[in-house]
């Protein structure tokens, strides 16, 4: 049974393997799953999403216990583990599926995400504008099993 302190958060930060591994290290994160969100196609496969024609982003869905970890902490992990100034790319990965995006599940998540983005922009940590989209969560399409905990299964903790 789902606890009243259990929440979901969904983030896109380039390839989903690395960002999933980062969130799995956070105390209070109960589970993670990688998948696709934000597009029009129903039940997309990895091959579909790689065409860059579905509108979906590669995302990690984080299930967390808000009594043990705050949404603000998850936002901090998100911002620290990718370049939010990149438009439709992260490192060597190029396409809309690699965009920087926060899919919010509640009005409070939206407010906190927008405030954190604004604070990051004001901090001048990046010389370019923050390109991260903040949009409502849509249907989460779980990626194929071989993508789940991909780095962990291979004894790795980073992609590149």
Domain with residue 37: its CATH number is 3.30.1060.10
Residue 149 binned pLDDT confidence (cut-offs 50, 70, 90): confident
- 15 catalytically annotated: yes
From the list 15, 37, 49, 102, the catalytic residue is 15
Tally the domains of the chain: 1
Specify if 1 maps to a domain: no
Residue 2 has pLDDT above 60, yes or no: no
Specify if 56 maps to a domain: yes
Structure confidence at residue 160 (pLDDT): 54
Q: Which two tokens stand for residue 117?
A: 């983005």
Question: What's the whole-model pTM score?
Answer: 0.93
CA distances to 29, 69, 80, 138 from 135, rounded to whole Å, are: 22, 22, 20, 9
Specify if 14 maps to a domain: yes
Taking the C-alpha atoms of residue 90 and residue 150, their distance in angstroms, rounded to an integer, is 18
Structure confidence at residue 1 (pLDDT): 44
**How do 133-136 and 100-104 pair as beta strands?**
parallel
Domain boundaries, position 121: 6-153
Specify if 119 maps to a domain: yes
22-54: b or e for each residue (b if 16 or more CB lie within 10 Å)? bbbebeebeebbbbbbbbeeeebeeebbeeeeb
Q: Terminus-to-terminus CA distance in the chain, angstroms?
A: 38
Whether the CB-CB separation of 108 and 69 falls below 8 Å is answered with: no
Q: What is the pLDDT of residues 117-144, one digit of tens each?
A: 999 999 999 999 999 999 999 999 999 8
Specify if 160 maps to a domain: no
Structure confidence at residue 72 (pLDDT): 98
């Amino acid at each position: 049974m789902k606890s009243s302190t259990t929440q979901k958060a969904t983030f896109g930060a380039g390839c989903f393997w690395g960002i999933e591994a980062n969130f799995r290290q956070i105390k209070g994160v109960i589970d993670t799953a990688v998948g696709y969100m934000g597009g029009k196609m129903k039940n997309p496969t990895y091959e579909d999403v790689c065409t860059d024609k579905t509108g979906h982003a590669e995302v990690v869905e984080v299930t967390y216990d808000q009594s043990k970890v705050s949404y603000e902490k998850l936002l901090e992990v998100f911002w620290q583990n990718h370049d939010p100034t990149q438009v439709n790319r992260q490192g060597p990965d190029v396409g809309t599926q690699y965009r920087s995006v926060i899919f919010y599940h509640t009005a409070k998540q939206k407010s906190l995400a927008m405030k954190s983005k604004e604070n990051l922009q004001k901090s001048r940590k990046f010389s370019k504008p923050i390109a991260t989209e903040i949009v409502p969560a849509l249907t989460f399409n779980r990626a194929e099993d071989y993508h789940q905990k991909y780095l962990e299964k291979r004894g790795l903790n980073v992609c590149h």
